[in-house]
Structure 1
C-alpha cells in the first residue's frame, strides 16, 4: 500500500474475493440471454460496471461462460467453480490443441486471461488441425502458468488479465469447430460487455453529477451532454435486450448488425462521458479522488475491447449490404 492508492496485487486480491462472493451468492440469479429476461441480465451487468469495472469484467466472464456452456450443450458451472472466457487472438500468441487418443492437450501462450489467478476453470479458444475450437480447462493443472509481469495496465489492474502459458493442459471440447463464433449467443454476449461499459460510464458521470450543485452554464451544458449520451445508449441497450428475447436463435440474421450497432453506440457514449466529465471537472477529481481516477482509468482501458474503426468498417459494410438487398 502506498499512501491511499492500493497496489496492483492488493487490487487483484480484493476484486478476486468479491468476484467469488458474487458467483457464490448472485450468479445463479442472472437470467440467460434470450430466455425472456435479457433486460434484467443487462441491468445486472450495468450495475456491476457502475460498482467496479474490474469486478464486472470477471463476473461477465463467468456469466458468459455459463451461457456458452448451455448454448453448446455442456453442463453449467458447478458449486465452487469460477469460470472465465479467454478467446482473444492477438498476433504472435495462441494455443494449439493436439489429440492424443481420447484426450485433447493444449500448448502455447494465451493473452488477456482475465481472472487468471482466481478462476478455477476457463473456456479457451485453440487451433486444431481442422480449425479453431473451444475447450474447457481447469486452471489447477501443473501445466497452467500465468506469466507474471504481462499485465502492466493501470486501468483494469484489478481484473488480473495476464498472459498464460499452457503446457500439455487437458482440454474438453465444447461445441464443434467454429461453434464459439458461429452461435447467436456470441453476439448477445458482446452486448452484455457493452452493458458493463455503460455502467462504468455512469460511475464516471456520477462525479460530475455530485459536483454540479447549481451548475454554471458551462457545467450544465456538459451535464446535459453526458445525460443525453447515457440516456441514448441505455435506450439502445434496452431495445437490443428486447430484440434478443424476441429472436434468441437469430432466425432473422440480425444479431451481428445489432451487436455492432449497440457496441459502437455504447463505446461512443463512454468516450463522450470521459471527455465531458474531464473538461467539466478538471484535474481535481483525477488527482484527489482515487475512486474517480480509477473509474476513469478502468473505463479507458475496458472500452478498447471495442475494435474501434475496424468494427465501424464492418458495421458500415453490413449496412450497405442491407440497403442493397432492399433495392
Structure 2
C-alpha cells in the first residue's frame, strides 16, 4: 500500500519553518466532519519539509527537537495551532514520537526511523488503552506477538509509524514503533466529539503483529522517565496557544466587521482576551525553555510545566468565553469562524490529570527551599 496522501519531498529548512508551517495549513484547511483527516494540510506540511524537521541536521532534519531548536519548534507549533488545532494535534504527536526515538532509541533504531520520517511516514504517540478487552501486551521473547489495542489514537488509519507502549510479561512497559499499513486496523466510530472532528481519532487493534528487534525504542519504562515525560507537555501547550490566538483573532475580526469595536464593554472584553493570549504565550515560552535547556532542571521543570498547563487552560477558557460573549449568538452558527475555533479549542484543552499536575507543582512550591521570587529564575535582573 502507499501512504494515503501525496508526498512532496523538500529539504527541511532551519529558517522560516514557522512561516512555512502556518502558510501550509492556511493553503490546505482541514475538514470539520466526523471520520475525517486533514489530508491536504498534512501533505502541505510534508511538502514543506516539516515531517523531517524534528530530526537533527545529521539525520536530514532541521534540529527542531534539539535544545537549540526549541524556539523554532515553539513557533512552528503555535503557527500550526493558529491554523487548525486538529492538524496541530497530529503534528505535535509526530514531533513527540520522534523526540522519544531520538532520546531513547539506539543508533540503528534512530537511523531506521529517521529514514522513515524523511520518506514521508507520519508518526504519533498512542498510549491510552481501552478498559475492555484490555491494554496492549507483547508476548515473551520467544514469541513477541502483540495483543490488544490503543484508544483515543489521533491519526488512526493515517499514522503509519505509531509509537506505543506495550506491557511486557514482567509488567514493565516497552516503547515500540510499530509499522502499520495505511487505512488498516483503525476504528473511528467511537469518536463523535464536540470538537477536533478532523483528527481521525479512534481505536487501533494491534493483535497478531510480530515485534522485530528494531521496533523497540529504549529500555522498559523509559517512556515514563522524568522529567521528560511530564515536561514534554510544553509542546501541546504551544499548539493550544496558537488556538487561543486564533480565537482572539476571530473575536477582534468580528468587532471590526460589525463596527462594534468602539463600545467600551467590547473593548474591555477584547483587552481581557488579549491578556489571556499573552499570558499563555509567556508561559509557553518559559516552559519550553525549562523543559529543553540542558541539563534539564528536573522537578523544577516538571513543576513549571504543570503550572503552565493550568495557566494555558485558564487562558483558553477565558478567551472562548470572552469571544462568545462579545460575538453573541452568531458565534454559535456554523457559518461563523468562531464556532469551530471555540469547539476545537475547548476539546483540545481537555488534557489528562490537570488536578494532579497542579497538585504536584504546588508540592514543589511548598517544599522548595528557594525564596518565591527565585523559584523559576536563578537571578533577578540588575
The TM-score range, normalised by the shorter chain, is: 0.7 to 0.9
Structure 1 length-normalised TM: 0.88
Q: Does 1:168 align with 2:208?
A: yes
* 1:8 pairs with one of 34, 47, 53: 34
Of residues 269-278 and 163-172 in structure 1, the stretch that sits farther from structure 2 once superposed is 163-172
Matches within 5 A, 1:83-232: 83-89=123-129, 91-92=131-132, 93-101=134-142, 104-130=144-170, 131-140=172-181, 145-171=185-211, 172-213=215-256, 214-232=261-279
* 2:97 matched residue in structure 1: 65
Query: Is the contact made by 2:186 and 2:204 (CA closer than 8 Å) also made in structure 1?
Result: yes
Query: CA RMSD, aligned part only?
Result: 2.5
CA distance 1:232–1:324, change in 2 (3 Å): closer
Residues 74-130 of structure 1: CA deviation (Å, up to 9, x unaligned):
3143212111111124645521111342x6322112111100111111001121123
Note the 1:19-98 alignment, pairs <5 A: 19-27=42-50, 28-30=52-54, 31-73=63-105, 74-75=109-110, 76-77=113-114, 78=116, 79-89=119-129, 91-92=131-132, 93-98=134-139
Alpha-carbon spacing, 1:141–1:293, altered in 2? closer, same or farther (3 Å): closer
Asked if 2 retains the 8 angstrom alpha-carbon contact of 1:267 and 1:306, the reply is: no
Per the TM alignment, residue 62 of structure 1 is displaced from its structure 2 partner at its CA by 1.0
Shift of 1:309: 2.3
Q: TM-score, normalised by structure 2?
A: 0.76
Structure that is richer in strand per residue: 1
Q: Gaps (5+ residues) in structure 2?
A: 1-30, 55-62, 373-382
Comparing 70-79 with 111-120, greater Cα deviation is found at 70-79
Find the residue that maps to 1:126 and give its secondary structure: strand
SS of the equivalent of 2:163 reads strand
Question: In structure 2, how many angstroms separate the alpha carbons of the residues matched to 1:176 and 1:325?
Answer: 38
The answer to whether the 8 A contact 1:132-1:177 is kept is: yes
Aligned position for 1:243 = 290
Q: Distance in 1 between matches of 2:208 and 2:160?
A: 17
Equivalent pair of 1:84/1:119 in contact (CA under 8 Å): yes
| Correspondence for 2:41 | 18
1:302 equivalent in structure 2: 348
Would you tell me which structure has more helix in proportion to its own residues? 1
How many residues end up aligned between the 2 structures? 316
What's the offset of the Cα at 1:288?
4.7
The SS at the match of 2:154 is coil
- More moved, 183-192 vs 225-234: 183-192
Name 2:25's counterpart in structure 1.
Answer: none
How far apart are the structure 1 equivalents of 2:188 and 2:130? 18
Quick check: 1:45–1:192 contact (8 Å CA) kept in 2? Answer: yes
State the structure with bigger RCO (CA 8 A, min sep 6), 1 or 2: 1
Tell me if the contact between 2:158 and 2:182 (Cα under 8 Å) persists in the aligned partners. Answer: no
Contact 1:72 1:175 in 2 (8 A): yes
**Contact preservation (8 Å) 2:67, 2:293:** no
